[in-house]
């Protein structure tokens, strides 16, 4: 019954449920288990690994909590779509983040408009100044991943006729605007009605909200962007150094 399955080490200091979790994680990372695959039932896993039901449940729950699996009532436990991961603190466009992934962008709206007081303040605009407003739906494997709404001061004179399904940062560079750095915040939230609709969902869901203020090599504020990403499909990583 256990042929072809890794064995657990009962003499290890590592708890059995964690060992089991790591076995499944390795199978997912090696693509032995792929998105949508159903894993054996709890009873089958008990027999395969000769462990208690509590051990199996703890292992699976860890994988569910970390976004690698999902439980479907009355059906079983399935491998879930991996999260898209961006490494901090590198300043990248969505296109650059998604290199090697089947990703694309769908333009929702592009226009010049009067900014709200909050946008005016973020972009350090004077009264009467307009902004270039670009809202796009981010797609991975043909499915919505997030919504990006960029605001750029009108003085940069971006054309409304550009193909904004391509990299915005590359378009800025083509227009002689080179970005150097950005201030960014990340917080958890829930989708509002518009975001829920645009992302093809029926009910509100957990999101990661990214707000970024980008500066040019000349120190000018170039872009304020708000990104709302599907919380269970996107994550950020960073390396921290102790001084």
3-40: string of b/e by CB count within 10 Å (b at 16+)? eeeeebeeeeeeebbebbbebbbebbeeeebeeeeebe
Cβ neighbours of residue 45 closer than 8 Å, sequence gap 6 or more: 20, 39, 51, 56
Residue 19 has pLDDT above 70, yes or no: yes
Structure tokens at 28: 């997912």
At residue 233 the predicted structure's pLDDT band, cuts being 50, 70 and 90, is: low
Give the residue from 46, 62, 79 where a domain finishes. Answer: 79
Q: H or E segment at 76?
A: strand 76-79
At residue 84 the predicted structure's pLDDT band, cuts being 50, 70 and 90, is: low
Whether 243 maps to a domain, the answer reads no
State whether 149 and 96 are in the same domain: yes
Closest CA to 109 of 170, 150, 158, 139: 150
Structure tokens at 181: 């750095």
Whether 6 maps to a domain, the answer reads no
Here the CATH number for the domain that contains residue 70 is 1.10.10.10
The DSSP bridge pattern shows strands 84-88 and 234-238 to be parallel
**pTM confidence score:** 0.61
Give the residue from 62, 79, 96 where a domain finishes. Answer: 79
Per DSSP, what are the bridge partners of residue 86?
A: 236
Per DSSP, what are the bridge partners of residue 139?
A: 104, 144
Whether 5 maps to a domain, the answer reads no
User: Quick one: DSSP state of residue 60?
Assistant: H
Whether 4 maps to a domain, the answer reads no
Whether 31 maps to a domain, the answer reads yes
State whether 114 and 160 are in the same domain: yes
State whether 138 and 50 are in the same domain: no
At residue 190 the predicted structure's pLDDT band, cuts being 50, 70 and 90, is: confident
State whether 136 and 72 are in the same domain: no
At residue 92 the predicted structure's pLDDT band, cuts being 50, 70 and 90, is: low
Question: What is the Cα gyration radius of the chain?
Answer: 23
Closest CA to 132 of 110, 116, 102: 110
Number of domains in the chain: 2
- Domain residues for 223? 84-238
Helix boundaries (H) for the chain: 16-29, 42-49, 53-65, 94-97, 117-123, 168-174, 193-198
State whether 109 and 211 are in the same domain: yes
Residue 151 has pLDDT above 70, yes or no: yes
State whether 208 and 107 are in the same domain: yes
Express each pLDDT in 24-71 by its tens digit: 877 876 678 888 899 999 999 999 999 999 999 999 988 887 777 888
């Amino acid at each position: 019954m256990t042929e072809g399955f890794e064995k657990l080490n009962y003499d290890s200091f590592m708890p059995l449920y964690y060992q089991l979790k790591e076995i499944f994680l390795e199978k997912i990372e090696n693509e032995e288990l792929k998105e949508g695959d159903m894993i054996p039932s709890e009873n089958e896993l008990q027999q395969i690994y000769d462990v208690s039901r509590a051990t199996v449940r703890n292992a699976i729950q860890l994988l569910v909590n970390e976004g690698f699996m999902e439980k479907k009532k009355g059906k079983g436990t399935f491998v879930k779509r991996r999260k898209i991961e961006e490494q901090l603190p590198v300043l990248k466009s969505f296109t650059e983040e998604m290199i090697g992934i089947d990703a694309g962008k769908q333009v929702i709206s592009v226009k010049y408009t009067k900014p709200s007081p909050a946008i005016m303040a973020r972009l350090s605009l004077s009264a009467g100044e307009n902004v270039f407003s670009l809202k796009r739906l981010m797609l991975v494997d043909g499915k919505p991943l997030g919504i990006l709404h960029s605001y750029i001061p009108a003085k940069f004179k971006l054309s409304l006729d550009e193909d904004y399904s391509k990299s915005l940062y590359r378009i800025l560079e083509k227009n002689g605007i080179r970005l150097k750095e950005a201030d960014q915040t990340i917080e958890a939230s829930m989708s509002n009605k518009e975001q829920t609709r645009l992302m093809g969902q029926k009910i509100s869901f957990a999101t990661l909200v990214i707000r970024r203020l980008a500066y040019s090599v000349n120190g000018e504020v170039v872009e304020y962007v708000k990104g709302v990403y599907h919380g269970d499909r996107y994550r950020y990583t960073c390396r921290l150094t102790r001084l």
